[in-house]
Every structure is written in C-alpha cells, then in structure tokens.
Structure 1
C-alpha cells in the first residue's frame, strides 16, 4: 500500500535525514527543483521548442526555495523566466534564502501582486506547498485574466489546498494545477476533499530520502493483493468453506436493494448467500433469484433461531430494510449475535436513533455511511468537519472517520470519491477514486447496496473488518471503471468477475 503522509510527517522525515548527515537541506532543494523540471520535460514535451515563457511564483518558505531552483534551471536551458515573490525576501528560511540569492545573480524578482502576471505559457506554483497554514489571498483566482490560460505545475501541492485535509482554507482561494509534483510520498491532501480535483495529474519524485517510514499512525491508499481473492488451495473445500452470508431484506416491493447486495456478495466469492425476508416478500424474491437462497424471517425471534446455525458467518443489514419496531429489534438481535456484520442504509438510521443499538456495536461491524448518514450517527464530528477550515492543518475527513471509529468501536467506511476506511486502532485507509481512478458514474441508485454486499461477502469469507471494507471499496471502483459510463447498479456484480480475473492473472 502507498503511504500517505501529513505535512508534519514529511517534515520529520526530511529533518531526520538532514540531522543524520545523509543529505543537506540545500541538496534536497536542488533535487526537488530538478525533479520538477524533469517532470515538466516529460509531461509537456511541446515546451522543448521555442523558449517558452514561464512565471515562477515563490512563497515565503522552503517551497519558495524549490521555486528559485526551478527558475534557475529553466533559465539555464533558454526559457524566458520571470519570478514573483509572495512575502519578504529577508524572512526566507536559510536554504530558501540561499537559493533566492543564487537566482538574483541571474535574474530579477518582483513582488507578487494581484493582476500583475504577464502572459506566459507556464506557471510554476511554489507559493506554499505543504507548509500552508493560512488562506491564500487575494480572494479570487490570481490567474484570472490570463488568456490563453497557461498550464500550471504545482510544487508539492496546489497553493491554497491544505496538505493534511485537501480542504481550501476559509476566505482564500487555490490555484488548480494541471500537474502536481510531490516528493518522497503522496500527502493526504492529494486524495482528500478538493485536493483530489485540484492537483491534476500527480507525480511522486524521489529526492533520496530512502524508505524511511513516517512516525506515528500512518494513512495508506487501499491496494488489493490478488492472492487474497483466490478461491482455491483447499482440496476438500465445499461451499461452506467460503462462508455463508445472511442478508436481511425488506418487505414486498422493497426487495431490490437486498437482492443487489446478495448478488454482489455471491460474485465476490461468498460460498452461500441467503436473503431472509418477511414471508410476504418470498414470492417476489423467488421470481428474481436462483443461486441465492431464501428464508422467511418474520421477526427477531425467527432471526435469533436462524442465527443458531454457526455456519452463518456474516450478516448484511440495512438496504431497504425499513425503519419500524420489527426492524429495530432485528438489528438488536443481529448485533447481539456478534457475527461479522455490515450495517448500511436503514440500519444506520436505526442506530443513529437508538443509543442502545449504538452501544451494541462491536469490533466485527462495518458501518458504511455517506455524508448524511455520518452526520446522523456522529453529529458533533460531522459539524466539526463541515465548519470552515481557517488554518492548516485542517480537520479532515480522515480525522473524522478515525474519531468515529474510536467512538463506535468498529470499522467506519466513510463514503465518497475519497472513501476513508478507519478502524478503532491502527492505520487509516483511503480509497481515492480521483484523477485516473475517477468513476463518477458510480453515483447511481443501488451502487451502495452492491458495495455493502461486496464487503459482507468478504467478511463471510473470513476477512477482518477493515480489510474487507477496503477491498470491497477498491473492487467497487474497479468494476465501475471497467464497465464505464452508462453503469447501473446491476452491472457491478456482473462486471466484477472480469476484474477478479485480471487480478488473478497478475499473480500467475
């Protein structure tokens, strides 16, 4: 899995390398500048001809120092380079100040003022990077009026975006980039919130810091190992070897969501899947299902009896379940059984309304809220996340999911293009469906029900809660990307086998 760093973690890694004598701050700055120039060459080959015009925006910290290196290197190859400084040169950090002086021996530096950027082909944004702690002012696009609009390369992260949260600080703006070049590792702000869109294409440049891990709890991007999906290696295996999932379905006319979840679970490899539904819904479900089994479950007593079977390894509750007293009692019965359990949709609403249900959550549960459901479950945390971010590092979706998981004592999958999966302890995982992994057609009715089924199927097979949630979320996006525009929820389980075959082929 790719590690995602906070700005403090990145600074600590750099400081440790410098203090250990393996590299100097000047060397790191030179490597960073050279890495950005190499990325520009690779991504914009048309600039190789004609001496393009570039304006380098340098800020008051070490990100600005990187900018002075970039300006010097680009001028050395014949580019027309202008430099604008945001802040006071006398207050630059030592390494940045040294590179400022190296640049001023070659060219001029003008103060960055609103509306003073000349026509150019490229803007290099080295204003704030990961060091952003205050809004980027002026309160409008500093590139407004430049026609045609130049391409923009951000050094580390687009200025105005908080590197720890991906949020735009209140009262400020951000400079959207066509290309972002970051160093050593991705930062949280590259994948969370507005950062997922603002960064454009993101390249990670190696500046010689080795494989030094971050100190403290790290966040990681979700990655799926093909071998964990292989359904083999047990010569005497039968269907029960791969788990039995029980999906609780809704009343007659409301069974589609449970059927979507059940089909997703079966496709992802659960050995058996049963829908338990009110007796009046049996005929409707039987007319639509073949490989998925059916059981009448009229009430919580019937569910309790069914759960006496130890071969039922996981439960999925919520998709179109309804919100009555019967359903409340069934959720309570399911939680009391302490099986691996996915709680989605109506089950989340019931838990948000009932303190006793919330208190019954356990470490084998996965909650799958979207933003509105999260706010009903954790109103104070959601309020903090929704509040304007006035300074960096800002409270992030990752922070919110981690706090929620600690409070609930179970795994939280906080949905979105930047899905965050947090367990009560340990690293937080991020499934970022942004940039090259974007799948906007997932915003369709029933897609969340299929996701619940994917996760529940993996739980039934014996995966731990956080791994199942992360793997299900990753496969959900990959199936959507494989199908493409025009996707409806029914397409996701049917596309999944091709995704799984590709994964298995990578491991043979």
Structure 2
C-alpha cells in the first residue's frame, strides 16, 4: 500500500464500512455529514456564483442528507435555493433525518421539479451506492436537465452511475463537477463514469487514514508511487548489456513500421540494446530506417531457437505488424521461458486456441504481458468480455488469473491487472493517444522496462503511465513518432 491518498480507491461498500467504523470509533458521524454538505455548497458557490437558482435534489439516504446540509448552507449564504426530495422525508433515518430536520427550507417531491434555464443542479439523490436501475422519477429529472443543458454538481457520484463499475444504471446525470469524500471510487475512473463525473474533487471530511487503510483492497490508481522504487536506475558500473537486451519482431516488408516504433520506444525507455528480428525479405526496408537499433534476420522457429541460445536475449515484443498466421503462435510459444509482451497480431493469432498460450506461460514467475484493446480482449477471453455483471477491473483480473499474465486492458480507462489480484486504473492518458502506432509505442516501453529486469506488473504499470506522460508532453496533435521523442523516465 502506498501512502498517497490520491492513489487510494475504495468501493462504495468499503466506503460504507469505513463510515460505520468511523462512527464506531467515537467520531461524530453527523459532523462528517455536515462537512460533506458544506463542501458541496462551497463548490457550488465557487463554480456558479451567479446561479439563478440552486435546485437541490435529495435522495432517501445519506446522500440526500448531504444534500439537505448543502441546501441549508447555500440558503444561509444568500443563494436562491429550491429543494426536491425523492420518497417520503419522514422515513429518513439517522444522520440523514437530522440533516433534514436542520434544513428549514420547504421541499417538494422530485416529481414536481420543473427544470428551468438558470438552474444549477445539486444532485444528492443516490451517490455511489446505487446498484439498481434508477426509478422513473429520477430518469425524468435527468432527461429534463439534459434537455436544457443545465450544469450539475454531483454529490459523491452522479446519480445513475454504479460506483463499483462506472456503468450507467438506466440513466445518469452528466455532471460538470463531482464532490466526493476521502477517496475516489472505481466508478469515477472507469468508463463511461469517468466521462459523466466532470472534474472530481476529493474532500477530506476527517475520517482517519487508519480506518480507510483497513478497507483498502488490491485496486488503486496507477502512479509512480506504485512502481518508482523498482524503476531501474543507472550506476557507475552500468553498461549496455546490464541495461538489458530487448528484441522486437518485425512483420513482412510491407508492415515493418510498427516494429520499429516499438523498438525505438524500448530504447527510449532505457533498454541498453534493442534488436529488430526481421524476416529476410524485410531486412533492406528495416536497415534503411534503423540506426541505434540493431537488426537480425530471423525467418523460422529454428532461427529463433538459435538466437535464444544467448541468455542475454531476455525480453521480447511480438505482435505489432507481425501478422496473425501460425508463425506468430510458433514464435510466441518458443519464448515460453522468456519475458514477452504480446500485442496486436500476436494476441489475435491465439483467438482459436488461447489455451495453448496460457498453458505455455502457466508455470513459474509471471513472464507474459498481454496488451489487448477491447476487441482483442474479446478474442482471447470471449466469455469475460460479454459478462455484463463484471466491471472492467473484474474482467481484467479474471483474464490475468486465467492467463498467468499481466493484462494491460487498454482504453481511455486502461486497467493493469496481475494474477496476484492487484489492479491499477490509469488516469493520465490524454485523448490524443487515440492515434495510429500509439499501442506499438506502449508495447515497446513495457518491453524496454522488462529488459532491464523490472518486475512484470510494475513494468506494465510504469509503461502505461510513462506513455500517458509522454503524450501530454507531445501535445494534442501528436504522432507515434513524436510520442517516442517525449518518453522520459
């Protein structure tokens, strides 16, 4: 566990247990609710000081209690406020009932809410705890708000989102800003939840870290705190072979560019030596484009096995531009005792017999990194890809356990999962990474880190994060070639 609270994630259920533990430790639970509601009111006034009306929509639980506190605080600050409730407020319990009693404003049923221009919505209906389709009255309110394009500030999580998976449960508000408490939830980071939360503010309401730490699972936010201590560092005795040798397999003469992108990325990531293993027919094409990267003719499995006699050839990238024929499977299986990043065509080549890949890498230390996007994930794990009840984290972890591999489940919400149950959600990748060759660069970065001896899970996590940072430095109009030049350790 790292000490950076910004990297911690708690599921809604875990956060609920932390709330109960805080109250059980003697902390005033209503005081926590007061701090939460006041933080929401402060955010609303900061972001929309000229709001014509703050429409506070309060639900039947503690999220609604936060809303009643926020409504009272807004009114006390002189803002125009209208309160609407879902369900019968007389049935509120505990702190939510106390908050409702303390809110002297009159309230109307949610069904009577009429959206009007100038409204700022405070969504305090459900928050992160919802696990069922929203009722019709909430769906109607969402439709009305969307229809006028009204700004929404969500309390904890936009109502209608599953805080565990980020899925929309029938309908969900699209917030411009979300105020959550103590830690983020997976639903803030997983798609489509990430797109519906707007900017996310994490407010510390005073629950001790020791209580939160007791509820932490094996899922966190990716960042240097997770892997910095094992990131390879140079020393005075360093030479190129001690920095590791990465081999990247090239495709045929008409498809060599992807391998060269991976190779150059591996070199920038710190590998001491990088070789492009090329079919003889593509040697001239590759030679014309390579300088610091070496070139080796490898046409057959026999050629590869001879190459593997040198134990310094320890890390490999296979897949970018390689083709999906039997040769891809043969080469991957020949590498069963080496560290391998299997990407793109290398993944697709096993779509009809994924078990042969999994069996080859099943024993010993984790040596295999799979980097599928959504479609490729479905080719290797069709049953997991269609499991609508599982979150992206659940699917990645199940795939990782089955394959005995680190799985980099790519997307705008990339998840890195290991067979030991650890998972990370990456958050620093800009939209500009959706460009040709970007995935080839990522495979090369991870391969370069593996070549230097970095542990497999940490190499994958660091590679994903460094890839995102490079894209941010490269700017909105990046190309894959430019992306490589911005890789920094």
Query: What is the TM-score with the length of structure 1 in the denominator?
Result: 0.89
Moved more, 487-496 or 414-423: 487-496
- After the TM superposition, which residues 17-28 of structure 1 pair with which residues of structure 2 at under 5 Å, given as runs? 17-21=22-26, 23-28=27-32
The Cα shift of 1:485 comes to: 2.1
- Gaps in structure 2 of 5+ consecutive residues: none
The number of aligned residues is 475
One of 428, 438, 441 as aligned partner of 1:447: 438
RMSD: 2.0
The Cα shift of 1:194 comes to: 1.1
- The 8 Å contact of residues 167 and 189 in structure 1, kept in 2 or not, is answered as yes
The Cα shift of 1:100 comes to: 1.2
1:260 equivalent in alignment to 2:255:
no
4+ residue segments displaced more than 3 Å: 41-44, 117-121, 137-141, 145-150, 225-233
1:414 equivalent in alignment to 2:409:
yes
SS at match of 2:207: coil
1:371 equivalent in alignment to 2:370:
no
Moved more, 212-221 or 320-329: 212-221
- After the TM superposition, which residues 115-134 of structure 1 pair with which residues of structure 2 at under 5 Å, given as runs? 116-134=114-132
How far apart in 2 are the matches of 1:373 and 1:145?
37
- The 8 Å contact of residues 352 and 358 in structure 1, kept in 2 or not, is answered as no
CA deviation string 1:371-427 (max 9, x = no partner): 00101111111011xx3xxxxxx5210111011111111110000000000001142
The Cα shift of 1:453 comes to: 0.3
SS at match of 2:242: helix
How far apart in 2 are the matches of 1:217 and 1:5?
7
- After the TM superposition, which residues 465-484 of structure 1 pair with which residues of structure 2 at under 5 Å, given as runs? 465-484=456-475
- The 8 Å contact of residues 419 and 430 in structure 1, kept in 2 or not, is answered as yes
- The 8 Å contact of residues 5 and 214 in structure 1, kept in 2 or not, is answered as no
- The 8 Å contact of residues 115 and 145 in structure 2, kept in 1 or not, is answered as no
CA distance 1:214–1:192, change in 2 (3 Å) = farther
CA distance 1:89–1:115, change in 2 (3 Å) = closer
- The 8 Å contact of residues 368 and 414 in structure 1, kept in 2 or not, is answered as yes
CA deviation string 1:159-207 (max 9, x = no partner): 11111111101xx211111110000001100010111110111000001
1:432 equivalent in alignment to 2:433:
no
- Aligned residue in 1 for 2:11: 6
How far apart in 2 are the matches of 1:118 and 1:249?
60
- The 8 Å contact of residues 358 and 404 in structure 2, kept in 1 or not, is answered as no
How far apart in 1 are the matches of 2:390 and 2:163?
11
- Aligned residue in 1 for 2:315: 314
How far apart in 2 are the matches of 1:258 and 1:201?
37
CA distance 1:455–1:150, change in 2 (3 Å) = same
How far apart in 1 are the matches of 2:142 and 2:425?
31
The Cα shift of 1:120 comes to: 4.0
CA distance 1:255–1:118, change in 2 (3 Å) = closer
One of 397, 403, 411 as aligned partner of 2:392: 397
- Aligned residue in 1 for 2:484: 493
- The 8 Å contact of residues 13 and 129 in structure 2, kept in 1 or not, is answered as no
- Aligned residue in 1 for 2:352: 353
The Cα shift of 1:251 comes to: 1.4
- The 8 Å contact of residues 141 and 174 in structure 1, kept in 2 or not, is answered as no
The Cα shift of 1:495 comes to: 1.7
How far apart in 1 are the matches of 2:171 and 2:315?
47
- Gaps in structure 1 of 5+ consecutive residues: 388-393, 501-508
1:235 equivalent in alignment to 2:236:
yes
- After the TM superposition, which residues 96-107 of structure 1 pair with which residues of structure 2 at under 5 Å, given as runs? 96-103=96-103, 106-107=104-105
SS at match of 1:213: helix
- The 8 Å contact of residues 10 and 215 in structure 2, kept in 1 or not, is answered as no
1:342 equivalent in alignment to 2:341:
yes
- The 8 Å contact of residues 273 and 293 in structure 1, kept in 2 or not, is answered as yes
Query: What is the TM-score with the length of structure 2 in the denominator?
Result: 0.93
How far apart in 2 are the matches of 1:30 and 1:248?
59
SS at match of 1:181: strand
The Cα shift of 1:230 comes to: 7.4
